[in-house]
Amino acid sequence: MNNNLPQTNLVFFYSEGAPNDNALDLSQNKQLVIDSAKDHVDNISYYTPKKLREGGWGDYVKEYESTGLVSANKGMSKIGFCAWRPLILLLELEKMNDGDILIYRDSNINKYSKLSDYQDIKSIANQCLTLCNFDFFVPHHDISFKNRQLTKTNVIRELGEDELFSYEYPALMAGFIVIRKSLISNELLQEWLHACENEEWMNGEQYGELDAEFHHFTPEQGILSVIIANWIRKNKYNIPIVYPLISIRSGRNIKKINFRRDFSYLSILNKSKAVYTTNPDYLENKNLNGLISFVKFITVNFLKKQRYQFLKTYYKKFPSEKIKIKIVRIREELGKE
């Protein structure tokens, strides 16, 4: 074994229910995650509300009386609205060497069976870092939400400096995160953690007028989305303007990666105070692997869609079980529910 090779570590979080906390009892998932991942990563760590309180980090899992604008997942009020997420990532990075890889993944396998799939997780993690061309990967939301829809408007006004780009940037989904330990990824996590310590940004209460398109608040996830939008707008550490480029189906099925095709929001950068950034390497033909993968994916998906439409038309005229099976298979491959 070559000890100089980068290690790939996994960290996850679960609540235990009474008497350790007042959230859902998800403790059965602990062993399910360990059994699923142990042969595919080098080290596994986990955290619970109790473990964080005992370590002096209780403020990040404190219980709130009101869920307020966090209407899509009311149980988050029992575990600090997930302020613990950047914290546990930083705690794990402290144990690691520069260049090592840290993966965070949601743990509720009992509810979402796809979370048990860790086959090729090391390769997938590296592919995600390569495609986003940065040391920190978090996917776009798999539904076309914008920050203005999933982030409290006071967060965008203040943290996002009330910039149009901060409102229009496509929302991120923090159920799967890949980090290569570096000064850059550490700085991003520190900024995310510090922002999650701001009560008026983190809790479910409303402060001032909400955007007309606001739907519901995803606390730590929405805050991260605004920070990433800031970094892109300010060209911080040359983060690619198309970051992160991809989404993951339902945020859980890591084998279903979709490339974003609508970058119309980037036109805003020409009208803001931002420095207009250059294209990332794989859009300038320097990273041939990234470019070839991108073009191949677009081409294959186009052909699949053409075949899908043809089979649907054919099936209407000549219905058969064989054609129906083909249609269902292609639908699944295209990520259609």
| Range from 206-210, 234-238, 329-333 that averages highest in pLDDT | 206-210
| Residue 45 confidence (pLDDT) above 80 | yes
Higher local confidence (pLDDT), 265 or 58: 58
| Residue 280 confidence (pLDDT) above 60 | no
Q: Which pLDDT belongs to residue 331? A: 75
Question: Residues of the chain with pLDDT > 90: what percent?
Answer: 67
| Residue 298 confidence (pLDDT) above 80 | no
Counting Cβ atoms within 10 Å, is residue 225 exposed (0-12), middle (13-18) or buried (19+)? buried
Per-residue confidence at 287, pLDDT binned at 50, 70, 90? very low
Q: Which pLDDT belongs to residue 70? A: 97
Q: Is the dihedral of CA 245, 332, 28, 65 positive or negative?
A: positive
User: How much is the pTM?
Assistant: 0.82
| Range from 71-75, 197-201, 285-289 that averages highest in pLDDT | 197-201
Higher local confidence (pLDDT), 280 or 110: 110
Per-residue confidence at 294, pLDDT binned at 50, 70, 90? low
Per-residue confidence at 290, pLDDT binned at 50, 70, 90? very low
Q: Mutual orientation of helices 321-333 and 288-317 as an angle, nearest 10°?
A: 150
Rounded distance between C-alpha atoms, residue 261 and residue 169, angstroms: 14
Rounded distance between C-alpha atoms, residue 280 and residue 134, angstroms: 10
Per-residue confidence at 259, pLDDT binned at 50, 70, 90? confident
Q: What is the pLDDT of residues 194-207, one digit of tens each?
A: 999 999 999 999 99
User: Which secondary-structure segment (H or E) carries 325?
Assistant: helix 321-333
Per-residue confidence at 302, pLDDT binned at 50, 70, 90? low
Question: Residues of the chain with pLDDT > 70: what percent?
Answer: 88
Calculated CA dihedral for residues 49, 54, 57, 59, nearest 10 degrees? 70
